Structure 1
Amino acid sequence: MRVLADEAVGVLVEAALAKGARRLQKAVRMVEKGEDDAIHQVRVACRRLRSDLRLFRKLLAGESTNALRAELAALAQACGEARDLEVIAALVKESSTSEDDPEHLASILDTLTAGLEQASARSSEVVLGERTATLLRRLETAPELSPKARTTCGEALPELLDGAARQFAREADKLQPWTADDDWHEVRLLAKRVRYAANTCATVLGDEAKATAVQAARYQELLGQHQDHCAAADALTSLAAAAEPQLAFTLGRLVERHRAARKPLREEFLSLYHRA
């Protein structure tokens, strides 16, 4: 749907939230059909819709927005474990070398695959459950708009997008090569929020918003790779705690490999960010 700059921003709010609801409905149908990548698409749809609800929070009336965001967060979290294990298993394969014991690698991958299958089953049960059905029904109702939603898109959207960008910049400015993993992860989430906000606003703001989305996607990609290595190191460390000594040694080698992979990604992000 094309929205013009002189139209009320409420028109865009309604269109964006309706599109987000349809995206989530489609992803749930993918799970029903057992399609590949379905659980991940549910997670992505939840995050996109939560981002729009956050972006437009001052333009929405009533108390339902926080409850909807909480429900979407719970659904996304229920889909997170399976996706994380899938990524971790792929990273273990990519990072393995001829020096690693093949039997140990096979054992590690078998454990991760078994965990992935169990997590996928749990995720599917949640996605196809009554709580999700109730959420989808709630999303069919048009949002209640506040008086601020009568402001034109041309006036409201630059301020909303700028707010998301400023929050990202405040936290990104604090990052140093030695900053804790959790802080890097938080900046990744903020970069994703800017990207989603810019994509939503691009229908009105055009090339400037599209450029912001592209830059945020570059940040998100680097920080996403960083987070994947952090998650892999944490998961493999947990496996090592209960492993027999020789297997624990192989796990420890893999952990150090993933921890070492953080450094060049941090350096690349900082270089890119401070060059922008």
Structure 2
Amino acid sequence: MADSKREIERKYEATTATRLPDLSRVAGVSAVAHQGVSDMDAVYYDTEDLRLMAGSLTLRRRTGGSDAGWHLKFPVATGIRDELRQPLSDTLPRPFAGLLRSRIRTSALVPVARLRTSRDVHHLLDTDGALLAEVSVDTVRAERLTGTGATADWTEIEVELADDGDPAFLDAVEHRLRTAGIHPSALPSKLARALAETGPPEQHEHDRSTSPATPPTTAGDHVLAYVRHQTEAITDLDPAVRRDLPDSVHRMRVATRRLRSALRTYRKILDRHVTDPVCDELKWLATELGVERDQEVLEARLRTALDRLPRTLTLGPVDARLRLWSVARHGGSHRRTVAVLDGERYLALLESLDALLAAPPLLPAASSAPGRALPRAVLKDYERLAARVAHALDLPPGHDRDLALHDARKAAKRARYAAEAARPALGKPARRLARRMKAVQSLLGDHQDSVVAREALRTLAVQAHAAGEPTFTWGLLYGREEAEAADRERELPQVWHRASRPRLRAALEG
């Protein structure tokens, strides 16, 4: 994968007459070291309908300066981006092609702008000579490479925090700049400014069909807003999953499940003859993502349980065996996940979601007020959960009850997601119901995690026995997991009682 750097910077308006104030007066700065001027030439790429720009992504090929090569930037938060780098080449590096696939699909990347920059660099240093921040005065010449080919010129100031620096330091620098009459830029990047100043970007039909023009008012509006949000989350999280970033698989899987849940719950709003095939593909994707996510959860649970044991109870090379088992399973699962994201079936799913949002299959109930149609759908999911909980509690402890509790957990998740989708329209009652459903889901999820952990512990014990290692520790952990599951089962009636109070239902029904 490409080299990665967390970029924390702020941009400020300037003119050719602007002069930097004395930044040595900023708290913490001992010296300002002039690094000279360098010239850079960058070509920025996007699709013709600017899909990367719409997702706040930036792709460029730059020559000159200290970091010539291909750069791909992903937004993290305001003023914070992850910049990935690849060596200079004539064609788009293969790793970048994969990271951009969910965004550009089958569209071609074309050069959209060329920016030639003369950069005057100053380093802000502390008393030990360590870098605090880099301040650059950039004189930019931008050329539009699509449409009219118009040009624009401007000067701006960038302040980039040093690696592992304190973001609060940027506040101190900004205070000094503002005092000197230098103010933050209105646009977030050079490319955004180049496109804005060389002519309005053309809006593609894709953008218009997937972006809401007005705030949601009808039941259909609210459901589509939720569907749109989860669809965008899948697209946005795709590169993070490929990069194996923490929690990315989990978040993408949750978005997939939330989307599927909404399409299933609100079948009176969106025609199921259109959405059911999409639901089937979303179920497939969630299952594929689950291979890696379930391994992450299981590994963390076993590691935590093992770390809590006194050393006197850890007999044999348990750490080494768990580590080897985890590495082997995780490596294979991540490769499999990336292969899924590279496949045509996944790409077809993304296209089908775009098509659904472009021409939503709305039913007559979609035009009704949200206070009428949405509560009915939410309460239907709630009743399904109530039946499954009652069935599970009627069974004696054992395998059949474990399966029934797992079914109840899935129903709790669907009821929670249904309430969350309705929350913008229904307000506090939906928020309360979602919170109660989450409590039930969490308890049942912990129970299911214990069931899965016991299966893994038995496997580890069998492997240890075959290698001539002690199995005592694995058996001890197995017994503790049994006790944990029993505790959750004893807690369920009380948690469910709090979640099923009649007043919650009455408030939701209005």
2:385 to 164, 168, 181: 168
Distance, in Å, in 1 between the alignment partners of 2:225 and 2:495 is: 34
Are 2:251 and 1:41 equivalent residues in the alignment?
A: yes
> Which of 350, 356, 364 is matched with 1:147 structurally?
364
Secondary structure of the residue aligned to 2:362 is: coil
Higher alpha-carbon deviation: 172-181 or 147-156: 172-181
Distance 1:125 1:30 in 2: 14
Shift of 1:241: 4.0
- With over 3 angstroms needed to count, the CA separation of the structure-2 counterparts of 1:212 and 1:62, relative to structure 1, is closer
2:488 to 265, 272, 275: 265
TM-score between both structures, scaled by the size of structure 1? 0.91
Aligned partner of 2:280 in structure 1 is: 70
Residue type matched to 1:105 in 2?
D
Which structure has the higher relative contact order (CA within 8 Å, separation 6+)? Answer: 1
Q: Percent identity?
A: 32
CA distance change for structure 1 residues 152 and 200 in 2, over 3 Å: closer, same or farther?
A: same
| Contact 1:59 1:147 survives alignment (8 Å) | yes
Could you tell me whether the CA contact under 8 Å between 1:31 and 1:127 is conserved in 2? no
Deviations 1:34-78 (A, max 9, x none): 422222222111101011111112222262311111111111111
Q: CA deviation at 1:248?
A: 4.3
Please tell me the root mean square deviation across aligned C-alpha atoms, in Å.
Answer: 2.1
1:89 is paired with a residue of what secondary structure?
helix
SS of corresponding position for 2:268:
helix
Q: Which runs of 5+ in 2 are unaligned?
A: 1-211, 500-510
User: Which residue identity lines up with residue 35 of structure 1 in the other structure?
Assistant: L
1:205 is matched by which residue type in structure 2?
L
Write the mapping of 1:114-263 to structure 2, written as runs, cut at 5 A.
114-141=328-355, 142=357, 143-176=360-393, 178=397, 180-243=401-464, 244=466, 246-263=469-486
Q: Contact 1:31 / 1:38 at 8 angstroms: preserved in 2?
A: yes
> Which runs of no fewer than 5 residues in structure 1 stay unpaired?
none
- Native 8 Å contact 1:9 1:156 kept in 2: yes
Q: Deviations over 1:131-184 (max 9, x none)?
A: 212111111122211222222211101111111111111111223362621111
> Could you tell me how far 1:275 is from its partner in structure 2?
4.4
TM-score w.r.t. the length of structure 2 is: 0.51
What is the CA-CA distance between 1:212 and the residue it aligns to?
0.2
Higher-Rg structure is 2
User: Residues of 2 paired with 1:42 and 1:88: CA distance?
Assistant: 18
**Which of these residues, 92, 109, 117, is aligned with residue 323 of structure 2?**
109
- Contact 1:82–1:119 (CA<8 Å) still a contact in 2? yes
Aligned partner (choices 35, 50, 54) of residue 264 of structure 2 = 54
More helix by share: 1
CA distance in 1, matches of 2:493, 2:272: 41
Q: Distance in 2 between matches of 1:62 and 1:87?
A: 33
Query: After TM superposition, what 4+ stretches of structure 1 lie above 4 angstroms from structure 2?
Result: 1-4
Pair 1:93-2:303 in alignment: yes
CA offset digits 1:223-249 (Å, max 9, x no partner): 111111111111222344444254444
Q: Secondary structure at the match of 2:410?
A: helix
Taking a change above 3 Å as real, the CA distance of residues 136 and 273 of structure 1, as seen in their structure-2 partners, is same
Aligned to 1:18: 228
| Alpha-carbon offset, residue 193 of structure 1 | 0.9
Distance apart, 1:112 and its partner CA: 2.2
Paired residue type of 1:274: H
Could you list the per-position Cα deviations for residues 160-214 of structure 1 after superposition, in whole angstroms to 9, with x for gaps in the alignment?
1111111111111223362621111111111111111111111111100100011
Distance 1:250 1:66 in 2: 47
Structure 2: distance between partners of 1:67 and 1:267: 39
Letter in 1 for 2:346: T
1:89–1:113 CA contact under 8 A, matched in 2 = no
